[in-house]
Structure 1
């Protein structure tokens, strides 16, 4: 439960920063790290399906992890946070 509260505080701060630093709608760049051998990349791609997002992946030098960068135009800070929460539900994903 403590972790959930911490997450809500983080998202509230992020929302405030996004509102102060960007004019909305705006493009936002997400970056995630996932294990290369899992299904996490497909899960992330599904979340951003039909959003017009540009998704780039790059495997680490040893092939253990893959970085996933997503550039997408969103309507407001709430939409940014909503996507973070959706991706956060996928096990093994690290948000940068």
Structure 2
């Protein structure tokens, strides 16, 4: 069991996200895909304020966090871009 947990095959993940992260659908697709592929890993998914989520991850209150860029991160965290959105303005 310990070896499986060490490989990430079992266990628990605390995932934090900012409310706007759900708009693109990336969060939902990734959580659903991970749950299908890693059925023995339980996920807790909770919303958190944008300004404090990176600090909460750095402090260990979340294992990972979905934030929107640009966002200043504590030096011990690494960012991985998951999605780029192109906003446009329609003017009449």
Q: The TM-score by the shorter chain falls in which range?
A: 0.3 to 0.5
Which one scores higher on RCO, CA 8 angstroms, separation ≥ 6?
1
TM-score, scaled relative to structure 2: 0.33
TM-score, scaled relative to structure 1: 0.32
Whichever structure has more helix as a proportion of its residues is 1
When Rg is computed on C-alpha atoms for both structures, the one with the higher figure is 2
